[in-house]
């Protein structure tokens, strides 16, 4: 029996990546137009671009849906009430971006500690100015969020000679990568002697504004903060005030609110702040990696086996043990 799978395309389109299968019929859907009539019978959907709101807007058009896979790790944009209340299984593309995100995060830490911004500025001015910079070795980093991206980042940080601690849902000790993990209630105490804070949190009601003005105020004036999770988890205004007033050594944001960041946003001109356009996980070949994951899940779906990366719709993410 042929399985009908709808593919809500992204940019660039993915139809050339999905190899034909004798037992699967793909219906490719333009994300800017209503779904074609035959898509109403799709039992599975691959949704590339969750930002468009396509699934929410056309939820009632898919009458036989049993499974949705999204081409992102974050799922907050597709967790609308009808989907949450339904029996439709939601899976995400967790793990696809871990290595790229971890490397990018370490790159931001190095850019801050080596003050590369000033180096590039001097190069543009044709100025030869020798100066000292810091090392990451011997410094401490607190990972806010202890999922797989944070874990891989912690492993690299340890290899560079840094000490690592974590903030997770529950407190525990003896983790092989994070050492001691504090509960959210211990966040400010953990920040007090941190050299670096790296935020890798999903967007949920529980994480909204988790790193607030009080948490930022508990950091040392020399500390640096990096957010590669979600913009909603950080008090951006408090961060900017701390940077402008010299109460924080530096920061880097790959995620922010709103996105895309408007050209006239004052955030662009905050001193000692690196801004990148939510690209930390984007790596060459990421579409192929997602297709490979989707194909493995598709085969499991056809066999009636448990799927990979099932999202707990009440939590807002695909949980891992001890996350």
Task: List the pLDDT tens digit at each of the 323 positions of the chain.
Answer: 899 999 999 888 888 999 999 999 999 999 999 999 999 999 999 999 888 889 999 999 999 999 999 999 999 999 999 999 999 999 999 999 999 999 999 999 999 999 999 999 999 999 999 999 999 999 999 999 999 999 999 999 999 999 999 999 999 999 999 999 999 999 999 999 999 999 999 999 999 999 999 999 999 999 999 999 999 999 999 999 999 999 999 999 999 999 999 999 999 999 999 999 999 999 999 999 999 999 999 999 999 999 999 999 998 988 875 44
Structure-block tokens of residue 85: 């209340």
**Annotated active-site residue in 56, 278, 300, 322:** 278
**Domains of the chain with CATH codes:** 3-96+284-303 (3.40.50.720), 98-275 (3.40.50.720)
Can you tell me whether residue 290 is helix, strand or coil? helix
Q: What is the CA radius of gyration of the chain?
A: 21
**Annotated active-site residue in 15, 51, 64, 259:** 259
From residue 304, how far is each of 2, 67, 262, 318 by CA, in Å? 15, 12, 46, 20
Active-site residue 125, yes or no?
Answer: no
Residue 14's contacts (CB-CB under 8 Å, 6 or more residues apart) are: 7, 46, 48, 287, 291
Active-site residue 11, yes or no?
Answer: no
Active-site residue 259, yes or no?
Answer: yes
Among 182, 103, 94, residue whose Cα is nearest residue 143: 182
110 CA to centre of own chain? 20
Q: What is the 3-state secondary structure (H, E, C) of 51-100?
A: HHCHHHHCHHHCCCCCEEEECCCCCCCCCCHHHHHCCCEEECCCCCCHHH
pTM for this entry? 0.92
């Amino acid at each position: 029996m042929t399985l009908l799978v709808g593919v809500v395309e992204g940019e660039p389109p993915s139809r050339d990546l999905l190899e034909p299968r004798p037992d699967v019929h793909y219906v490719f859907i333009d994300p800017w137009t209503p779904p074609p009539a035959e898509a109403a019978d799709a039992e599975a959907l691959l949704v590339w671009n969750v930002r468009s709101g396509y699934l929410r807007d056309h939820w009632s058009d898919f009458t036989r849906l049993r499974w949705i896979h999204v081409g992102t790790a974050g799922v907050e944009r597709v967790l609308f009430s009808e989907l949450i209340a339904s029996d439709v299984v939601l899976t995400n593309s967790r793990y696809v971006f871990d290595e790229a995100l971890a490397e990018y995060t370490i790159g931001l830490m190095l850019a801050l500690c080596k003050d590369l911004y000033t180096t590039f500025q001097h190069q543009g001015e044709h100025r030869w100015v020798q100066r000292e910079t810091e090392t990451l070795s011997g410094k401490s980093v607190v990972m806010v969020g202890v999922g797989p991206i944070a874990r891989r980042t912690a492993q690299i940080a340890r290899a560079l000679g840094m000490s690592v601690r974590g903030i997770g849902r529950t407190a525990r000790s003896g983790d092989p990568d994070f050492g001691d993990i504090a509960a959210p209630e211990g966040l400010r105490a953990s920040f007090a002697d941190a050299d670096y804070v790296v935020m890798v949190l999903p967007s949920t009601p529980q994480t909204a504004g988790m790193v607030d003005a009080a948490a930022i105020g508990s950091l040392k004036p020399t500390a640096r903060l990096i957010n590669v999770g979600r913009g909603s988890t950080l008090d951006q205004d408090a961060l900017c005030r701390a940077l402008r007033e010299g109460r924080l050594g530096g920061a880097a944001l790959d995620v922010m609110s709103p996105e895309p960041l408007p050209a006239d946003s004052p955030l662009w001109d905050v001193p000692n702040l690196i801004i990148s356009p939510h690209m930390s996980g984007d790596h060459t070949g990421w579409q192929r990696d997602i297709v490979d994951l989707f194909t493995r899940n598709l085969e499991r779906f056809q066999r009636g086996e448990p799927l990979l990366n099932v999202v707990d719709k009440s939590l807002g993410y695909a949980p891992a043990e001890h996350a």
